[in-house]
Amino acid sequence: MAYENILYDVSDRIATVTLNRPDAMNATTDELYQELQQLLGEIAADTSVGCVILTGAGKGFCAGADLKARRDHMTPIQLRARHRWILKDILEPLFRLEKPVIAAVNGAAAGAGFNIALACDFIIASEQASFIQAFAKVGLVPDLGGMYLLGRVIGINKAKELCFTARKVLADEAKALGIVNHVVPHDQLMGEARATAARIVAGSPTALAMTKTLLNKASNSTLDQMLEYESYAQTVAYLTPEYKEGVQAFREKRAPDFAAAAARG
């Protein structure tokens, strides 16, 4: 499929997804969401992709919803149906994608853009990045999972402050709060993201998928539940060709080729 609002590239098992509306700071539209929905499905099914980098074109990561595309003509029922589509068919598949996703935040991540970044597994930020839960400025509530995701990352009291005040958080403060894993010079952002992704894709695809799924469940599960999940997952891992490859590589004192082992089945 040809995309008009997204750039997509795959090399060395790393997929790079670039929101591509730079003149609008990559603000989201329904057309962009439709393309992202399609692309997430393709990535999920593509065994040649082991890790995803999500970033923005130009000076911004994503400025949130494009407020020029107002929906005054829509009824409350229609608005709710639209939001449920975005949440269930785009945000949730991004969060649950069984491949690690790195947000490479190159500039402003505002409103929905902030929460799209939070739905990724972790964030590497340019020193020029900023984050803002901008919803209160236009009389809205945080969406795209923000009220769930932000509190998980920084704690409920800090999440309330950022949502209530709609204040901008710069890259260094975002790192101190735990929103961002690493802050790097602007011109090194994509290099750092790709280097991190390269370390990830060297791992077992099956083990990575199960690890991500279980870590996503951890904060909402009891210890007993997590131990049970782990026991099942580890049993499956022992049966995979990746585990056999890992043991053989260890014995032969070489780097394992997990991707090839997974492809052989």
pLDDT in tens, 237-246: 999 999 999 9
Specify the pTM.
Answer: 0.96
Domain 6-201 top-level CATH class? alpha beta
Question: Could you tell me which residues come within 8 angstroms of residue 156 by beta carbon, excluding any fewer than 6 positions away?
Answer: none
Kindly state the helix (H) or strand (E) to which residue 101 belongs, with its residue range.
strand 101-105
Kindly state the helix (H) or strand (E) to which residue 184 belongs, with its residue range.
strand 182-184
Average pLDDT in the chain? 96
6-201 and 205-264, same CATH topology: no
- Collapsed DSSP state (helix, strand, coil) of residue 7: strand
Give the model confidence (pLDDT) of 91-106 as tens digits.
999 999 999 999 999 9
**CB-based contact 43:30 (threshold 8 Å):** no
So what's the pLDDT on residue 154? 97
Per-residue pLDDT at 147 exceeds 80:
yes
| Mean pLDDT across 101-122 | 98
| Mean pLDDT across 212-225 | 96
Closest CA to 106 of 117, 119, 91: 117
The tokens for 62 are: 């994503």
What is the pLDDT confidence band of residue 202, given thresholds at 50, 70 and 90? very high
Instruction: Provide the CATH number for the domain formed by 205-264 in this structure.
Output: 1.10.12.10
The domain spans of the chain are 6-201, 205-264
